[in-house]
Amino acid sequence: MSAGLAIETRGLSKHFGRQAAVDSVDLAVPHGSVFGFLGPNGSGKTTTIRMLLGLAAASAGTVHLLGQEMPGKLHDVLPRVGALVEGPAFYPFLSGAANLHRLDAAGPHTVPATRKARVQRALERVGLEHAAGKRVHAYSLGMKQRLGIANALLSPRDLLVLDEPTNGLDPQGTREVRNLVRSLAHEGTTVFVSSHLLAEVDQMCTHAAVMSAGKLVAQGPLAELRQAGSTRLRLVTPDGGAARQVLARLGLVPEPGHAEPRPAEPRQAEPARARPDGETIVAAMVEGAQPPAVLPEDVVAHLVQAGVRVRGFAVERESLEDRFVALTGEGFDVAQ
């Protein structure tokens, strides 16, 4: 077990017959981080979480939570872990508060004398104090989701595992959960958040990992994942042939299919508008080079020295969405 990690897996795998739902996953989740576990639906995220928590047996590999090997130290570790996995399940004809009282009483390490205060505190933290006495069958999906998070917060936790915590929440509820996660991390809790909503992870997390078809395809600090994508130069010039020659000498080969023809002249009836006049050439820079192999200002200088007229020039870096789509080959939901 590596020091400084709240979760560590080595070669973690789960097979259903010949199908590998999770294939040799090596996770490294730092203490105190908000760790986004990203991937399209069906990529193996929930199966991985179930193995982390001892809810499913691994076919191969090892799991350590909070420095302890799982599932061997399950009874020592789980009281320090709060979890919301695959949606909350409650008694529908009991109130939200009554459900939390029952769930807390089922824990072997809970303290009865402080139960009422802890239930009230948990309901307040997720914004459900006004609905504490309402029967759960009358709760919306978002309210049930928040009640599930409240259950995970009934006792102080060193690690919180949330599987799709903003599922079913309206924008206001989503913001509340986001702020709650940040406050928990500020207090020292490690928060492991599984999601297919890229925008939420981008705003909430400090680190992330990306799953695709059961495999871990990337992980690390979110800032590093953003920087790992390619950088492209976009040039608008009427001297396309000469520009390509200069770019080729600099090792920047224009990408096929990106040349855009000179825009048509505006119709006589329309007022004249300023437009870039020429074709657009896009060339990729060396991926991941820090600093880039060729600086953008040097590219412009070489173009001008060669007599290429530069009508427009921009440096474009892949967005986080572009990067993750490139890693998984699939799209992410980017809005709630």
What domains appear along the chain, each with residue ranges and CATH number?
5-227 (3.40.50.300), 231-263+274-317 (3.30.70.100)
Q: What is the pTM for the complete model shown?
A: 0.72
Nearest-angstrom CA–CA distance, 169 and 204: 15
Q: Tens digit of pLDDT for each residue in 283-336?
A: 876 554 444 567 888 899 999 999 999 999 888 776 666 667 766 665 555 443
Instruction: Give 259's DSSP letter.
Output: -
Q: What is the pLDDT of residue 274?
A: 37
Chain centroid to CA 85: 17
Nearest-angstrom CA–CA distance, 240 and 254: 11
Q: Which pLDDT band holds residue 269 (cuts at 50, 70, 90)?
A: very low
How big is the chain by its Cα radius of gyration, in Å? Answer: 26
Q: Tens digit of pLDDT for each residue in 35-74?
A: 999 888 888 999 999 999 999 999 999 999 999 999 888 8
Nearest-angstrom CA–CA distance, 88 and 213: 26
Nearest-angstrom CA–CA distance, 302 and 247: 9
Burial class from Cβ neighbours inside 10 Å (0-12, 13-18, 19+) for residue 272 reads exposed
Nearest-angstrom CA–CA distance, 335 and 325: 15
